[in-house]
Structure 1
Amino acid sequence: MADTYDLIVIGGGPGGYVAAIRAAQLGLKTAVVEREHLGGICLNWGCIPTKALLRSAEVYRLAKEGERFGVSPGALSADVARIVAHSREAATRLNGGVAFLLKKNKIDVIWGEATIAGKGEVRVAAPTKPPMPPQLPSPKTRLDHGVYQAKHIIIATGARPRVLPGLEPDGRLIWTYFEAMKPERFPKSLLIVGAGAIGVEFASFYRAFGVEVILVEALPHILPSEDEEIAALAHRSFKKQGIDIRVATTVTGVEKKADSLVVTLKPADGETQTLDVERALSAIGVVANVENLGLEALGVALERGVIKIDGLGRTNVEGVYAIGDVAGGPMLAHKAEHEGVACVEAIAGRDAHELDRSRIPGCTYCHPQVASVGLTEAKAKEQGIDVKIGRFPYLANGKAIALGELEGVVKTIFDAKSGRLLGAHIFGVEATELIQGFVIAMNLETTEEELIRTIFPHPTLSETMHESVLAAFGRAIHV
């Protein structure tokens, strides 16, 4: 007789393991099926290890600038192997942490590849890649394969790098983010195709260590999902750092040589150009992992390559749910986690709340950082909203001056009639840590009056947020 669970989660990434833990807290007998590594791409090859790499770049940058702070660091060198090792150590540590949490919550881990064989049935086969078992086993870490039964099945299989025809990664000359995270050496030059969050972060990392970086974006500006004013500031900053940025440009040809590439670029309004580069990184987004799950036979509806769900993760097939990247954008770990909690609470009969996608923050960990939540100025105006815009520069903030981080701005967008905060956009040091204040304000439906009356501590970077609100209503003090 097959093992029976209340819930089986297919995929142990941020959405999957968080959903499993919340299910266990609510008293559901739960199992997670994982084919490769707990924590998913985010923990092992994305969010966490990339931030470790960028921390190394930040330390290197600050060390180079030491003399302006009165500190002479002496001769500097960058040990690529140690930089990569630091990144991998962070991933390994958190991988073990996820295993511990699953064990603590008495969640079974089944190692293998899952297919939904029928209503309430999950068939688990041996994985095509050897699994990376957790450092601490769950109460029933299983390597046995077969059919498991569950009243509810959540698909949380995530996504993988998108492949551009003609720029197919080969792991040596043409990289995905997997190879870009563990270089054996820094190349002399690197072409990055795609100037979204992934492309910009790697551009920032490699440029910090002196690599000649060419950043190519098919759309008219980098960071296409961000407010255009913020994207323009980032563009100028990156150019000043020495990053060669080509917007409204596509890659039309790639010729491989022994240890380099000849790449043909076509600007929208210019002549075709060729560049010689050592390596190329394809960073044009991701595609959902919807294959080989039995979805077609089961009749699960897809829409634009992702699983179609309602606001609580329910598909069109009873008992089958989807969360995270496999269920569509924004493809962010924190979105997947909250989606998983909402889905499980609905399954358990709790008063679950649908995810408000307009209040999901986005963060890009380049230098300087970019973070945002809510509407851009353009989107607000497209909706016919009469807006008030506030801006406050970092260079007028005492803490930013003390840190020597003068580049940046906080931009806030309000409904002129109601005073409701519609969006907030930050470009500058620690932007990704500051944005949560605006996220909380939007969730609480805070007005400009309440934000103006809020006391922000001095001296902090957060004062730029307060001053931006004041500026939107003609009341800024320090500018």
Structure 2
Amino acid sequence: MANGDLIVIGGGPGGYVAALRAAQLGLKVTLVERAELGGICLNWGCIPTKALLRTAELVRLIGAAGEFGLGVAPPQIDLPAVVARSRAVAAKLQGGVKHLLKKAGITVIAGTARLAGPGRVAVEGQGELAAPHIILATGARARALPGFEPDGRFLWSYREALQPDCLPPRLVVIGSGAIGIEFASIFNAFGSEVTVVEALDRLLPVEDAEISALARTAFERQGITCHTGARVTGLEKGAQAVEVLVEAGGQALRLPAERVIVAVGITGNVEQLGLDSTAARVEKGHIVTDRFGRTDQPGLYAIGDVAGPPWLAHKASHEAVLCVEAIAGQPDLHPLDPHRIPGCTFCHPPVASVGLTEAAALAAGHKIRVGRFPFAANGKAIAQGDTEGLVKILFDADSGALLGAHILGPEAPEMIQGFALAQSLETTEAELIATVFPHPTLSEAMHEAALAAFGRALHI
């Protein structure tokens, strides 16, 4: 098989972006993908879930039509049509990735790859490739919960949840990270009675504690039952339903359900790559790298989910660009700062954040100023009937540096990029306060939160 400058193993948002950037820089690239181009994110994660969430949003809006002076019949869920649209969206984007790779002159090989020695990759049934640089972008998979392995009927992983065979009257979601909470929001909107079980002491545990508490209140108001500090102890299957056995708050609970979604985290796809014959290290299910994706094996790199948290597509793509530019010897590269990677959960109401939580800022020794502004006091939010949540900003009290920002409420994932950009530009409170925000917009809540941190909020 052909030789080149770079071999990329894995065609997800890390791998295909690495291949595209390398081609832009004049490298001869081969990409090997064993399943679908676009990876889990495009085909079985970020994109199809957003399609389902859009349907869930429309269901909620139609249900609230009376508040806007409209008489509309209650929506009827055509589940096969909903799923078909979601799959069509993923297929369209997969085709787009395929087109981009072809246009860039990148050789794409369908197959399973394994390291075969320094600078060599064996593709099962197709021979060997050779290149001085190899990037591993093999992603991650759902972490298994013993006794709760997906069975194609009662127990669902994200794959089954994206192609449900029914709308379960009762659904238990184990795990309250982004994946679990997004599916909880989807099926709650579709009419399922949803219960969320979380082992840690709060929902959305990576988020700021105040935001987590407010989100839980919002979820429970929608009818989602939440158990935190809960330990799943067993599962009893019946003919048509199951019971999930849980210990929470000193009580033994039996949670009946027609379906159970297990969303307890992910682990890197590090097996059967041939890493044992290299100097690369694997720790806690992920490949250890430096800040440019380099492993301990010269010429071998890892990016994206297989290289560890945060497990986000945009982090993988950014790592891909940095890694390839380092390989190509580009000057003035800035390593990725994990504290400046925004995270989003597209639940209802949505959650987004960047930087430090309040607890992390205090633990790091910062004296902080905290600004909050509720959407209930924002004109655009009131006009569109979507006032739940707030914007919360943390500043260093001495320097005015923007330490973190947290949003619960309408369009939070779209707005958080404003704070991410501000952090990248090393913006202080002075620049944020001096910035003119358009009216009427939800983004005015961002400005008011900055003002509030310094006792200058105008509309509360």
Cα distance between partner residues in 1 of 2:52 and 2:355: 29
Equivalent residue, structure 2, for 1:274:
254
Secondary structure of the residue aligned to 1:4 is coil
Equivalent residue, structure 1, for 2:245:
264
- Are residue 170 (structure 1) and residue 170 (structure 2) matched? no
Aligned 1:77-226 pairs, distance under 5 A: 77-126=76-125, 145-226=126-207
What code does the residue aligned with 1:292 have? Q
Residue 3 of structure 1: how far off its partner (Å): 1.3
Instruction: Specify which of 411, 415, 440 is matched with residue 434 of structure 1.
Output: 415
RMSD, aligned CA:
0.7
Equivalent residue, structure 2, for 1:329:
309
Instruction: Specify which of 266, 270, 290 is matched with residue 290 of structure 1.
Output: 270
Conserved in 1, the CA contact under 8 Å of 2:172 and 2:255? Answer: no
Aligned 1:448-459 pairs, distance under 5 A: 448-459=429-440
After superposing on structure 2, the runs of 4+ consecutive aligned residues of structure 1 that deviate more than 6 Å are: none
Equivalent residue, structure 2, for 1:239:
220
CA distances 1:406-437 after superposition (whole Å, capped 9, x unpaired): 10100000000000000000000100000000
Equivalent residue, structure 2, for 1:422:
403
TM-score by length of 1: 0.95
What code does the residue aligned with 2:292 have? L
What code does the residue aligned with 2:313 have? A
Cα distance between partner residues in 1 of 2:98 and 2:397: 49
Cα distance between partner residues in 2 of 1:336 and 1:282: 24
Cα distance between partner residues in 1 of 2:174 and 2:88: 28
What code does the residue aligned with 1:395 have? A
Secondary structure of the residue aligned to 1:3 is coil
Residue 299 of structure 1: how far off its partner (Å): 3.0
Equivalent residue, structure 2, for 1:469:
450
Residue 73 of structure 1: how far off its partner (Å): 1.6
CA distances 1:37-86 after superposition (whole Å, capped 9, x unpaired): 00000000000000000000000110011011111122421110111011
CA distances 1:117-149 after superposition (whole Å, capped 9, x unpaired): 0011000015xxxxxxxxxxxxxxxxxx11010
Instruction: Specify which of 271, 286, 292 is matched with residue 312 of structure 1.
Output: 292
Equivalent residue, structure 1, for 2:43:
44
What code does the residue aligned with 1:123 have? A
Instruction: Specify which of 199, 210, 227 is matched with residue 229 of structure 1.
Output: 210
Secondary structure of the residue aligned to 2:291 is coil
Secondary structure of the residue aligned to 2:239 is coil
- Are residue 64 (structure 1) and residue 44 (structure 2) matched? no
Cα distance between partner residues in 2 of 1:247 and 1:179: 25
Which shifted more, 75-84 or 41-50? 75-84
Secondary structure of the residue aligned to 2:298 is coil
- Are residue 343 (structure 1) and residue 342 (structure 2) matched? no
Secondary structure of the residue aligned to 2:47 is helix
Equivalent residue, structure 2, for 1:357:
338
Secondary structure of the residue aligned to 2:211 is helix
Equivalent residue, structure 2, for 1:130:
none
What code does the residue aligned with 1:47 have? C
Secondary structure of the residue aligned to 1:366 is coil
Q: Structure 1 unaligned segments of length 5 or more: list them.
A: 127-144
Residue 259 of structure 1: how far off its partner (Å): 2.3
Cα distance between partner residues in 1 of 2:5 and 2:365: 47
Conserved in 1, the CA contact under 8 Å of 2:343 and 2:354? Answer: yes
Equivalent residue, structure 1, for 2:21:
22
Equivalent residue, structure 2, for 1:376:
357
CA distances 1:65-123 after superposition (whole Å, capped 9, x unpaired): 10111111224211101110111011000000000000110001011000000011000
Conserved in 1, the CA contact under 8 Å of 2:17 and 2:321? Answer: yes
Residue 366 of structure 1: how far off its partner (Å): 0.3
Q: Structure 2 unaligned segments of length 5 or more: list them.
A: none
TM-score by length of 2: 0.99
Conserved in 1, the CA contact under 8 Å of 2:63 and 2:74? Answer: no
Cα distance between partner residues in 1 of 2:324 and 2:429: 35
Cα distance between partner residues in 2 of 1:78 and 1:305: 40
Equivalent residue, structure 2, for 1:251:
232
Cα distance between partner residues in 1 of 2:378 and 2:416: 17
What code does the residue aligned with 1:272 have? A
